[in-house]
Amino acid sequence: MPNRSQKKHKKLTFKYLTPIFILITCQCGCINNVSYRLSQGEIFHTDYHIKYEYNESLADEIFSTLNDFNSSLNPFDSTSIISMVNQNKDVSIDSFFSHVFNKAKDVSIETNGAFDITCAPLVNFWGFGFRKPDSIHTELIDSLKEFVGYNKIHLKNGKVKKDDPRVQLNCSAIAKGYACDVIAELLDSYTIKNYMIEIGGEIRAKGKNPNGDCWKIEISQPIDDKTGLVSQQQTIINLCDKSIATSGNYRNFYIKDGKKYAHTIDPHSGYPVQSDILSASIITQNCMTADAYATAFMTLGLKKSCKLIEAINSSGHEKLDYYFIYS
C-alpha cells in the first residue's frame, strides 16, 4: 500500500471550464457494510468530487497527487513545467507532461489539427488565457497563426524542442481529463473496485455506486450561463467502467459589441468556433481521450465529427460513444 503523504501543500489555482456535468448522488452511504468515502475540494479553479469504496480516507493522497500534477501542467503557475516550456527555459519534462503531450499530438493528427494545444497565443488573444482580450485585428490573428501548429513542437530526449520559440502550449482541453485518469491509477493501486472521479465536469467511473448501480451522470442542456448556476437536465447517462467528458460554449464566453465570443478556438481560422454542435459528450475508456475529442468535435461540427467517429471506431484502436446536442 502506498505511503501517505505528510507534506504540506500550497493552494492550487488553475483556470478551466466551469463543470457542465451534475453527479446524481444516492442517499445511502454504504453497500455490503463497506463505506463509500467522498474526497472533495478545489483545484485548477474548479471543484473536484471523488467518491470511492474504501475503509479509510485517501484525501491526503489524492491532494498530493493533484498537487504534483499541478506542478507539471498548470500554465498559471510560473514554476510549473508547462510555464517554463512556454518561457523557453531549459527544463526536463515529467511523465505527466509527456503523456499529455503525446496524446494531444495523436488527437491532433487524427483530427487534422482541429485539436491543437499550441493554440495558446490565440486563446490568450481572445481573452480566455493569461490576459484580457485586445481589439480584434485580422492582421494580428494571421501573425499569431504563424507559430500555431502541433507539428512545430516536439519531444526529444526528455526535452521540448520548438521550431519557433514563440510557440506556446495550453492544455486546458485535455489536462482535466488526464487528471481523472491519474487519480484512477491512484485508486487502482489500492485495489479499489468502485469509484467515481469528477474534476471540473470530466468524469471517470469504475464499478458501482453505493446503491449497487452504474454511476448516473446528468448531461445539462446547453443554456448560455456564465455563472454555472442555471442547469436543466438534458439526459442521464449510466456510466460503468468508462469515462465521459463534455465540451460546450455556453459556460465560458463573453459578449462584446453585441456578439458572443466562446472559449473554443478554431486553430485553422484563429477565431472562436461557430459550430452547429452546442454540446459534445464523448464516452470512452480513459478520460484524457474523451476530453480531447470532445473539444475537437466542437471545432469540426456535426457532419465531420460523425464521419471521423465512424472511422476511429472502424479502426479498432479505440471506441468512442457520443452524445451531441446540436442546432
Ordered DSSP codes for 83-102: HHHHTT------HHHHHHHH
How far apart are alpha carbons 22 and 139 in whole angstroms? 41
pTM score of the predicted model: 0.82
Distance of CA 280 to the CA centre of its chain: 13
How far apart are alpha carbons 315 and 71 in whole angstroms? 36
Task: Report pLDDT for 263.
Answer: 58
Query: Which tens digit of pLDDT belongs to each residue from 148-175?
Result: 999 999 999 999 999 999 999 989 899 9
- The amino acid present at 45, given as its one-letter code, is H
Helix, strand or coil for residue 236? Answer: strand
How far apart are alpha carbons 62 and 127 in whole angstroms? 32
Helix, strand or coil for residue 31? Answer: strand
Task: With beta carbons less than 8 A apart as the criterion, state whether 200 and 192 touch.
Answer: no
Task: Report pLDDT for 266.
Answer: 82
Which three cell numbers mark 13?
A: 489555482
Helix, strand or coil for residue 298? Answer: helix
Query: Which tens digit of pLDDT belongs to each residue from 250-281?
Result: 554 444 555 544 457 788 877 787 778 889 99
Q: Is the pLDDT of residue 25 over 60?
A: no
Residue with cell 459550430: 275
pLDDT band at 147 (very low <50, low <70, confident <90, very high): confident
